[in-house]
């Protein structure tokens, strides 16, 4: 998926920004992650956007009940479907850190069937959810439930789609450069 023809010209913000709202949200981000990802620097032009992203992302990570491999499956699938080169690289690196098997991560990146049936069902449903704009068919829902997931898990996928839409679209608008720590997992669609 192509980026916008012209990236936004808003500046990359820092935790030393003169706007206290920007400085505060970026300081909070740095305290949580130990760094300020390039993606956050663009989002911070609207502090509420970054706050919303961080709150939703944290809620998905801490409250979804999904395993780290399942979480990365959802986040990577959304980012791949949306064509976000930044987020596919970042979540590939995070998957590696969370010990997701490389063959799973690579299959997700390449839109190939996954070697694990449960993860494959999760990725298939997540892609269908994104592609249908939240209107999966009854058969898609039934297949997801038959794989051992619940209707509550559908709402967790919705939460992930919500936060990844914020990050994927921000990266499209800014043509965000992949952070050095994720560069070894660079991806193009």
Domain regions of the chain by residue span: 12-63, 67-185
* CA-to-CA separations, 142 to 31, 67, 114, 116, 146, in angstroms, rounded: 41, 21, 19, 19, 6
107-134 tens-digit pLDDT:
999 999 999 999 999 999 999 999 999 9
The three-state secondary structure class of 68 is helix
Whether 26 and 44 have beta carbons less than 8 Å apart is answered as yes
Contact 15, 183 (CB under 8 A): no
* 48-71 per-position pLDDT tens digit: 999 999 999 999 999 999 999 999
pTM recorded for the entire structure: 0.95
- For residues 175 and 12, the answer to whether their CB atoms sit within 8 Å is no
- Alpha carbons 42 and 21: distance in angstroms, whole number: 14
Phi, psi dihedral angles at 101 (to 5 degrees) = -55, 135
Q: What is the pLDDT of residues 2-28, one digit of tens each?
A: 556 899 999 999 999 999 999 999 999
Architecture of domain 67-185: Up-down Bundle (1.20)
């Amino acid at each position: 998926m192509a980026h916008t023809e012209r990236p936004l010209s808003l500046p990359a913000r820092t935790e030393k920004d003169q706007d206290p709202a920007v400085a505060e949200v970026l300081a909070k981000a740095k305290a949580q992650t130990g760094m300020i990802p390039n993606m956050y620097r663009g989002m911070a032009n609207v502090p509420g956007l970054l706050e919303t992203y961080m709150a939703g992302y944290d809620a998905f990570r801490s409250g979804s009940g999904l395993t780290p491999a399942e979480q990365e499956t959802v986040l990577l699938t959304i980012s791949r479907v949306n064509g976000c080169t930044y987020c596919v690289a970042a979540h590939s690196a995070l998957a590696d850190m969370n010990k997701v098997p490389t063959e799973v991560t690579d299959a997700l990146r390449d839109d190939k069937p996954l070697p694990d049936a449960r993860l494959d069902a999760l990725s298939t449903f997540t892609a269908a959810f994104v592609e249908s704009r939240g209107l999966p068919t009854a058969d898609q829902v039934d297949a997801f439930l038959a794989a051992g997931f619940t209707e509550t898990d559908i709402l967790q996928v919705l939460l992930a789609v919500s936060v990844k839409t914020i990050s994927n679209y921000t990266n499209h608008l800014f043509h965000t450069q992949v952070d050095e720590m994720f560069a070894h997992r660079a991806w193009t669609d």
